[in-house]
C-alpha cells in the first residue's frame, strides 16, 4: 500500500515537472458568451512562449474571477510534443434583462433609475446592486424617510438572464418633535439651537426655505456639524473644558417623530491672562495683536482665535513662507480659570514657484490662463496672490470650475498646478424678454467670449421691443500682445421711444484701457462718434424739447477709471466695484457738453448666508458754447435698476406742459439685503430701500421707496421681479409699483 502511494505522488511530481519544463504554445478561452476574450486575456499573466507555471495559472484564475463576470473559472493543461496548451474555462454570471421597483410612491421610477449602479444588459454584480440600494436609501434619507427598508429579488428568465426587482417599504417622513439639551447652565437653550441644521419644525411649510423657518426634517449627516456648532458657541465664551455628547436620536417607527437628546458638561470659562509670541520674526508683536483682537481679563474666544490664526498663517504665506505652521499654545490654570496664550510660529524656508502647470484646458490656450496669474515661475510664494489669481481666472467665465494647488518638489520650491474645467463660451441665442416699460420684446445674439481659445470677445446682437431696438457689434481683445491692455470697438444702431420723444442713434465707439494693481484698477479712454435723430412724441412740447428736435452729431472723448475687487462678477458676496466716467462732447459735431457719472457699490457677507449690498450713483451734465444739454444725454431714473418704487424713467424734472425733460443732476442710493431662497438654483430674495432724484438746477427733494424683490439667475436668462412702495407719493405718482424684467433663451 505504501508503495502505491509513493508511485502516485511520484507520478504527479513528474507530471508537474513536465508541465513546468515545457513552454506555453497556446492559451484558449472557452465558455465566454457575452464577454470578450481579450478582456480575459488582459488579466492573464501567463503568456505564449513563457514557461508553464501551475502557481501562475492559479493566480490567473483568481484574476479572471476578480473581473466579476463569472460564476466559475477553471484551467486545464494539455501537454503536447511542442509544449503546453492551457485552456481557461469560464461560466458566465447571468446578465440583467429588466430592473423594476415595487412599493415606491414618494419617489418615481424615473428618479430612482438615476440611482442605479447596475443597468440592463450588464453582467449581474451583487456589489453594484448593494451600491444601488445605498444610493436609493440616500434619496429617501434626503426626504427624511430614514426608516425606509429596501431589499431585492432576482427572477430568472431564459437565456441566462435575470430581472432585478427592488422591493421598497417606505417609511413616514421623520419630523423632529423636540431637541432636549441637558446640562446647560450658562448658555440659553435658544442660543445653542440657533443656526443648527436640525431644528424643530417652525413656521408654514411654504416658507421653510427662509432661514428663520424650519421644516423639522431630520438631517443625520448634519448631526456632527451641529454638535460642533454647540461646542464652538461655548468656546467663543471661554468654556475650554466643555464636553458635548454625540446627539442621541430616537425615531418612533409608527409616526416618524424624532427625539434628539444632547448632554453638555460646561465647565468654567477661562479668562485670558497674557499673550506672548515665539519665533514670529519678521512680523512684529503689535501687528499680530491687532489681528488677534483679544482682550486680557476677558474670556478667551477660541473661535475668534482660530480665525486669527488663519489670517496670520496667510500673512506669513504672503511673505513666501508657504508651509508656515502657526499654532496657539494655550496653558490653562484650572485653579484660577485663567489661560496664558502663546502664538508660536514655525516658518520654515521661503518658497518659490518653480513651475506652473495648466491642466484641463482643451480649447483655451495656456497663455490665456497664465496671464491671469499674479505669480510667475520664479516668483516668491504668496497666499493672497494665489487667491486673487483664482478669482481672475474664475471671472473670465470660461470655466465651470477652477482649482489652484501647490505641490512641494524641494524644500524651497513648489509646483503650482492650475486645473480648470471648461464650459461653453459661444452662444447662439434667440429669446423673448419683458421690461415694465419696454414690454415684451425679441432678442437674439451670436457671442463668443473666448474666440478660438484666445480670450478675444466677440458679439453680434439684436434686441427689439415695442419701445426700443438695438443692433450691436462688439469686438474686444482684453490682453493686447499679452499685456493687461484692452482694445475694442463697438458699432451700433439704437432706436428708443421715451415718453415724450423718440431717438435714433448710429455710432461707433473704439476703446483702449489698461489694468493695474493686480488687475483691480482699470484706466481707459473711449472715443464716441454718433448720429442722433430726435423726433418729438408729444402734443404740447415745451420750448426746450422743440430745440432738441432734429439730427445731431455727437463727437465725444470719454475717459474712465474703475476699481473692482468683487469676488465674483456674476454672484458677488464681497468686494467693491466703483467707476468714474467723464464725457467731453465737442470734438467736431454740433453738440457741446460735458458729463460726469460716479457709481460705486459694496458687497459684504452678513449673518447666515445673507449678503449686504449698498450702491449709489451721482451725475452731472452741463452744456457750453451757447448750447443746450441734449435731452437724450440727461438723467432719467426710476425702475428696476435705480428707484424701484417708481416707474421706468419717470423720476425726472418736467416742463410746464408736463413733459419729462430729464435732469442735469442726479443721485440715487440703494441699500439691500440679499438672501438665498434656493441657493443651488441661484434663486434669491431681496429686501431693499432706495433714495434719489433728478434735478435741473439746484438740488431739491429726495424721493424714497422700499420693497422686496425676487432674483433668479436661471439657465434661460436673468429674471427680476420687484414690488416697490413709494414712501411719499405725489400727485400722478403710483403708491406701489410692480416691476418685472426677464430675458429668456430657447
Is the link from the previous residue into 118 a cis peptide, with omega within 30 of 0?
Answer: no
Q: How far is CA 611 from the centre of its chain?
A: 15
Same domain, 55 and 103: no
d(CA 380, CA 619): 43
Which of 106-115, 251-260, 715-724 is the least confident region? Answer: 715-724
Compute the Cα dihedral for 548, 552, 556, 562 and give only its sign: positive
Same domain, 514 and 402: no
Same domain, 225 and 118: no
Here the contacts of 77-80 (C-beta below 8 Å, separation 24 or greater) are 77/19, 77/52, 79/18, 79/19, 79/22, 80/25
d(CA 467, CA 235): 60
Same domain, 371 and 359: yes
Same domain, 490 and 533: yes
**In the chain, % of residues over pLDDT 90:** 64
DSSP label of 577: E
Query: For position 167, what pLDDT does the model report?
Result: 97
683-695 and 352-359 beta bridge pairing:
unpaired
d(CA 135, CA 187): 40
Could you read off the pLDDT of 150-209 as tens digits, one per residue? 999 999 999 889 999 999 999 988 888 999 999 999 999 999 998 888 888 765 555 545
Same domain, 135 and 233: no
DSSP label of 157: E
- Residue 526 contacts by C-beta under 8 Å, 6 or more apart in sequence? 509, 510, 511, 557, 558, 559, 560
The three-state secondary structure class of 632 is helix
Domain boundary, last residue among 346, 379, 409: 346
Domain boundary, last residue among 265, 296, 317: 265
Could you read off the pLDDT of 707-732 as tens digits, one per residue? 999 998 877 667 889 999 999 898 88
Total count of domains within the chain: 6
DSSP label of 520: T
Could you read off the pLDDT of 305-324 as tens digits, one per residue? 999 999 999 999 999 999 99
Q: Which residues pair with 743 in a beta bridge?
A: 433
**Between residues 731 and 265, the one the model is more confident about:** 265
Same domain, 226 and 191: yes
Q: Which helix (H) or strand (E) holds 18?
A: helix 2-21
Q: Hunting for cell 449678503 — which residue is that?
A: 611
Which of 356-365, 561-570, 701-710 is the least confident region? Answer: 561-570
Strands (E), 586-682: 593-605, 611-623, 665-678
Q: Hunting for cell 430729464 — which residue is that?
A: 662
* C-alpha grid cell, residue 658: 408736463
Q: Which helix (H) or strand (E) holds 714?
A: strand 703-714
Reported pTM: 0.70
Helix (H), strand (E), coil (C) string for 656-709: CCCCECCECEEEEEEEEEEEEEEHHHCEEEEEEEEEEEEECCCCCCCEEEEEEE
Q: What is the CATH number of the domain that holds 481?
A: 2.40.160.50
User: 411 vs 350, 354, 381, CA distance in Å?
Assistant: 9, 11, 13
Same domain, 506 and 376: no
Q: Hunting for cell 438672501 — which residue is that?
A: 675
Query: For position 672, what pLDDT does the model report?
Result: 97
Could you read off the pLDDT of 392-428 as tens digits, one per residue? 999 898 998 999 999 999 999 999 999 999 988 876 6
Same domain, 649 and 532: yes
Domain boundary, last residue among 38, 65, 92: 92
d(CA 651, CA 632): 15
Q: Yes or no: say if 465 and 486 are a contact pair by the CB < 8 Å rule.
A: no
User: 351 vs 194, 346, 379, 381, 415, CA distance in Å?
Assistant: 43, 14, 9, 6, 10
Same domain, 86 and 99: no
Residue 486's pLDDT band (cuts 50, 70, 90): very high
Query: Which structural domain, as residue segments, surrounds residue 144?
Result: 95-169
Same domain, 332 and 222: no
Same domain, 391 and 515: no
84-92 and 24-30 beta bridge pairing:
parallel
Q: What is the CATH number of the domain that holds 87?
A: 3.10.20.310
Amino acid at each position: 500500500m505504501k508503495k502505491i502511494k509513493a508511485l502516485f505522488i511520484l507520478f504527479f511530481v513528474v507530471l508537474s515537472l513536465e508541465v513546468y519544463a515545457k513552454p506555453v504554445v497556446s492559451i484558449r478561452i472557452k465558455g465566454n458568451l457575452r464577454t470578450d476574450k481579450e478582456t480575459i486575456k488582459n488579466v492573464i499573466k501567463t503568456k505564449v512562449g513563457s514557461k508553464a507555471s501551475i502557481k501562475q495559472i492559479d493566480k490567473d484564475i483568481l484574476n479572471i474571477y476578480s473581473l466579476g463576470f463569472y460564476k466559475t473559472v477553471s484551467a486545464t493543461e494539455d501537454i503536447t510534443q511542442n509544449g503546453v496548451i492551457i485552456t481557461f474555462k469560464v461560466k458566465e454570471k447571468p446578465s440583467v434583462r429588466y430592473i423594476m421597483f415595487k412599493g415606491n410612491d414618494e419617489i418615481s421610477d424615473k428618479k430612482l433609475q438615476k440611482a442605479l449602479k447596475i443597468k440592463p444588459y450588464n453582467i449581474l454584480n451583487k456589489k453594484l446592486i448593494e451600491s444601488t440600494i445605498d444610493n436609493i436609501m440616500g434619496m429617501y434619507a434626503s426626504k427624511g424617510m430614514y426608516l425606509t427598508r429596501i431589499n431585492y429579488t432576482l427572477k430568472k428568465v431564459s437565456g441566462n438572464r435575470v430581472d432585478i426587482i427592488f422591493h421598497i417599504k417606505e417609511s413616514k417622513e421623520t419630523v423632529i418633535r423636540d431637541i432636549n439639551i441637558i446640562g446647560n447652565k450658562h448658555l440659553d437653550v435658544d442660543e445653542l439651537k440657533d443656526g443648527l441644521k436640525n431644528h424643530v419644525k417652525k413656521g408654514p411649510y411654504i416658507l421653510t426655505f427662509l432661514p428663520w423657518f424650519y421644516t423639522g426634517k431630520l438631517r443625520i449627516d448634519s448631526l456632527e456639524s451641529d454638535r460642533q456648532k454647540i461646542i464652538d458657541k461655548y468656546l467663543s465664551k471661554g468654556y475650554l473644558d466643555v464636553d458635548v455628547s454625540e446627539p442621541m436620536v430616537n425615531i418612533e417607527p409608527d409616526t416618524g417623530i424624532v427625539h434628539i437628546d444632547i448632554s453638555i458638561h460646561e465647565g468654567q470659562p477661562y479668562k485670558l491672562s497674557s499673550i506672548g509670541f515665539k519665533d514670529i520674526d519678521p512680523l512684529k508683536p503689535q501687528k499680530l495683536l491687532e489681528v488677534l483682537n483679544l482682550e486680557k481679563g476677558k474670556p478667551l474666544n477660541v473661535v475668534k482665535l482660530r480665525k486669527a490664526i488663519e489670517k496670520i498663517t496667510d500673512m506669513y504665506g504672503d511673505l513666501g513662507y508657504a508651509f508656515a505652521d502657526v499654532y496657539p499654545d494655550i496653558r490653562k490654570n484650572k485653579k484660577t480659570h485663567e489661560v496664558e496664550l502663546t502664538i508660536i510660529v514655525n516658518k520654515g524656508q521661503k518658497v518659490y514657484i518653480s513651475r506652473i502647470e495648466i491642466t484641463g484646458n482643451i480649447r483655451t490656450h495656456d497663455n490665456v490662463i497664465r496671464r491671469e496669474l499674479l505669480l510667475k515661475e520664479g516668483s516668491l510664494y504668496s497666499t493672497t496672490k494665489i487667491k486673487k489669481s483664482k478669482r481672475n481666472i474664475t471671472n473670465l467665465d470660461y470655466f465651470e470650475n477652477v482649482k489652484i494647488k501647490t505641490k512641494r518638489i524641494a524644500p524651497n520650491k513648489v509646483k503650482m498646478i492650475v486645473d480648470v474645467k471648461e464650459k461653453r463660451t459661444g452662444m447662439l441665442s434667440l429669446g423673448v424678454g419683458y421690461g415694465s416699460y419696454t414690454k415684451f420684446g425679441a432678442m437674439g445674439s451670436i457671442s463668443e467670449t473666448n474666440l478660438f481659445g484666445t480670450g478675444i470677445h466677440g458679439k453680434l446682437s439684436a434686441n427689439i421691443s415695442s419701445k426700443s431696438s438695438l443692433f450691436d457689434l462688439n469686438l474686444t481683445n482684453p490682453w493686447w500682445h499679452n499685456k493687461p491692455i484692452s482694445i475694442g470697438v463697438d458699432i451700433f444702431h439704437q432706436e428708443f421711444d421715451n415718453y415724450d420723444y423718440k431717438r435714433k442713434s448710429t455710432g461707433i465707439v473704439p476703446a483702449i484701457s489698461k489694468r493695474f494693481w493686480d488687475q483691480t484698477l482699470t484706466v481707459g479712454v473711449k472715443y464716441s462718434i454718433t448720429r442722433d435723430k430726435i423726433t418729438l412724441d408729444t402734443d404740447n412740447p415745451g420750448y426746450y424739447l422743440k430745440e432738441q428736435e432734429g439730427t445731431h452729431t455727437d463727437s465725444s472723448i470719454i475717459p474712465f477709471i474703475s476699481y473692482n475687487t468683487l469676488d465674483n462678477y456674476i454672484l458677488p458676496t464681497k468686494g467693491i466695484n466703483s467707476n468714474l466716467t467723464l464725457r467731453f462732447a465737442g470734438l467736431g459735431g454740433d453738440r457741446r457738453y460735458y458729463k460726469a457719472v460716479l457709481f460705486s457699490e459694496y458687497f459684504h457677507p452678513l449673518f447666515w448666508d445673507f449678503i449686504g449690498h449698498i450702491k449709489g450713483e451721482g451725475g452731472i451734465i452741463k452744456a457750453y458754447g451757447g448750447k443746450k444739454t441734449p435731452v437724450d444725454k440727461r438723467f432719467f431714473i426710476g425702475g428696476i435698476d435705480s428707484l424701484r418704487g417708481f416707474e421706468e424713467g419717470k423720476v425726472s424734472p418736467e416742463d410746464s406742459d408736463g413733459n419729462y425733460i430729464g435732469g442735469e443732476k442726479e443721485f440715487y442710493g440703494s441699500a439691500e439685503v440679499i438672501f438665498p431662497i434656493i441657493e443651488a438654483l441661484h434663486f434669491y430674495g431681496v429686501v431693499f430701500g432706495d433714495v434719489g432724484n433728478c434735478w435741473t438746477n439746484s438740488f431739491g427733494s429726495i424721493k424714497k421707496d422700499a420693497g422686496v424683490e425676487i432674483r433668479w439667475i436661471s439657465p434661460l436668462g436673468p429674471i427680476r421681479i420687484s414690488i416697490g412702495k413709494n414712501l411719499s407719493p405725489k400727485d400722478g405718482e403710483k403708491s406701489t409699483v410692480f416691476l418685472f424684467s426677464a430675458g429668456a433663451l430657447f
